[in-house]
Amino acid sequence: MPPLPIMKIDASFAEELINKALKSGADQAEVYMRSSKNLSVEVKDCSVDALKSSVGFGYSLRVIRAGRLGFSYATAEQGGDSVVSNAVEAAKYADEDRFLGLPEPAGPAADVEIFDPRIRDLNEDEAINKVMDMERAVYAEDRRISRIRKVSGSFTVSETIIMNSRSINVRYESTACSAQATAIAEQGDESRIGWEQMSGRFLEDVIFAEVGRNAATRAVRLLGSQKMSNLKASVILDNSTAGDFLGILASALSSEAVQKGRSLFAGRLGSRVISPRINIIDSGLLGRRLGSAPIDGEGTPSREKMMVQEGVLRTYLYNTYTAKKEGRESTGNAVRGGFGSLPSVGITNMFLSPAREAEAVPVNELFRAAGSGLYVVDVMGLHTANPVSGDFSVGVAGILIENGEEKYPVSEAVISGNILDLFDKIEGVGDDLRFYGNVAAPSLLISGVDISA
């Protein structure tokens, strides 16, 4: 079947909504519009298990009237008048907030590489074949793979426009592609699960067969797992689990969390918070990455920010509202869950890098440096970490290390501590930086971690 057409956004309709809102009493008005098409495929036993094609369109109107916020949205242009009246009416009953305000233009939007015509032109048969390649790769990797829980792919094209009454008017197109596989390996009475995911803006950056192979490898490598004794030793987090831990720090870097007293970084600007060996960067300008776009969710140009430099906290992430509360400028980190939600604060693409590029080393060198310890390849329960104190206790699985070499797989282990202490003990940084979604980290060697069985 041919690809689905995407509904083109009518910019004049957005302008019309803003003008009607201003005439109805709004002091400021903003329209966020998004049109998209999505194709998702699930395959099971060499046949299509689920296939869904959809086209979506929606828009929202945010108004500020006498320091009060109003908001409404719809999925059809025919409801435009109701959206205007509902938003303006809602503002009458909202609490007054002197920090409310829409952004003004803050320079030109960057030209970011986020659109792939190959995804736009992809048809259903081509999409199905890619997902089937992933399934075949899972089974071909190892005979101990007994079944596949899920293999799926998703392909999306979208167009976005943000326009407000303060002269912001930006429009852009983007694409996205993702693949994921969950494989089960069995040996005797034992079974292990392996999961892998890959995503990006360009079709060629998502290697479906590799996703399948890696999912199988992750399942098989944990067969024969044993329990280990309690110890305090070095830990190597592989790049996926390092990214999971970085995600906890990412949420704590939000100015919204700081202002609400829900961040372990509150009051620590200018202080050393983690190891001086690493930097943490957030950038909406990385070509081909999922978190990139020319503007953020309210029209402010995307930027690159050095969040933590050589272990020192340099800034928080801001949108227009939280920046105004502190007399600062937005960092271009307004994010939206969709046209039906107001902008909040979030990351674009956040990644961890060595403070000095030359300090990144191959992962096998991290093993030699560790000597003995645990190579962690899976972590469970990280969502239970305390976002204010940073304390955590999570289940992990991995490979025991002795004399710098892998010995045997380990399961049912627990590591605990404080996430800032954990990142303060980083002794080595791998050269295998990998993005999972819009968060990326290399493998990390961390000393003196409490491991219990």
Domain residue extents for the chain = 11-220, 231-452
CB 37, CB 157: distance < 8 Å: yes
Question: Once rounded to an integer, what is the mean pLDDT over residues 126-139?
Answer: 97
What's the pLDDT score for residue 6?
Answer: 66
Per-residue confidence at 345, pLDDT binned at 50, 70, 90? Answer: very high
Per-residue confidence at 8, pLDDT binned at 50, 70, 90? Answer: confident
What's the pLDDT score for residue 3?
Answer: 65
Pairing mode, strands 350-354 and 439-441: parallel
Residue 168 carries which side chain, given as an amino acid letter?
Answer: I
The SS3 of residue 223 is coil
CB 55, CB 7: distance < 8 Å: yes
> How far is residue 426's CA from residue 53's CA, in Å, rounded to a whole number?
45
Pairing mode, strands 373-380 and 391-402: antiparallel
> How far is residue 280's CA from residue 420's CA, in Å, rounded to a whole number?
13
**pLDDT at residue 331 is higher than 90:** yes
Compute the C-alpha angle 215/218/220, nearest 5°.
Answer: 110
The β-bridge partners of 28 are 64
What angle do the packed helices 11-23 and 80-93 form, to 10 degrees? 40
Per-residue confidence at 157, pLDDT binned at 50, 70, 90? Answer: very high
What's the pLDDT score for residue 178?
Answer: 98
| pLDDT tens-digit readout, 379-433 | 999 989 998 999 999 999 999 999 999 999 999 899 999 999 999 999 999 999 9
CATH of domain 11-220: 3.30.2290.10
Question: Once rounded to an integer, what is the mean pLDDT over residues 280-287?
Answer: 97
Question: Once rounded to an integer, what is the mean pLDDT over residues 94-103?
Answer: 97
Question: Once rounded to an integer, what is the mean pLDDT over residues 208-231?
Answer: 95
**pLDDT at residue 80 is higher than 90:** yes
- Alpha helices by DSSP H, 271-399: 320-325, 363-370
Helices (H) and strands (E) in the chain, counts: 10, 21
What's the pLDDT score for residue 7?
Answer: 66
Mean pLDDT of the chain: 95
What's the pLDDT score for residue 118?
Answer: 97
Of 169-178, 199-208, 291-300, 350-359, the poorest mean pLDDT is in 350-359
What's the pLDDT score for residue 4?
Answer: 55
> How far is residue 252's CA from residue 262's CA, in Å, rounded to a whole number?
7
CB 359, CB 427: distance < 8 Å: no
Model-level pTM? 0.94
CB 99, CB 321: distance < 8 Å: yes
> How far is residue 434's CA from residue 423's CA, in Å, rounded to a whole number?
18
**pLDDT at residue 358 is higher than 80:** no
SS3 content of the chain, % helix, strand, coil (to 5): 25, 40, 35
**pLDDT at residue 5 is higher than 90:** no
> How far is residue 12's CA from residue 169's CA, in Å, rounded to a whole number?
11
| pLDDT tens-digit readout, 163-214 | 999 999 999 999 999 999 999 999 999 999 999 999 999 999 999 999 999 9
What's the pLDDT score for residue 46?
Answer: 86
| pLDDT tens-digit readout, 360-389 | 999 999 999 999 999 999 999 998 999 899
- Alpha helices by DSSP H, 162-202: none
Closest by Cα among 120, 200, 127 to 159: 120
Per-residue confidence at 229, pLDDT binned at 50, 70, 90? Answer: confident
> How far is residue 74's CA from residue 121's CA, in Å, rounded to a whole number?
28
Sheet order of strands, 278-283 included: 312-313, 304-309, 278-283, 350-354, 439-441, 434-436
| pLDDT tens-digit readout, 40-63 | 999 998 899 999 999 999 999 999
Residue 441 carries which side chain, given as an amino acid letter?
Answer: A
The SS3 of residue 48 is strand
What's the pLDDT score for residue 357?
Answer: 76
What's the pLDDT score for residue 24?
Answer: 97
Pairing mode, strands 373-380 and 334-335: unpaired
Residue 394 carries which side chain, given as an amino acid letter?
Answer: V
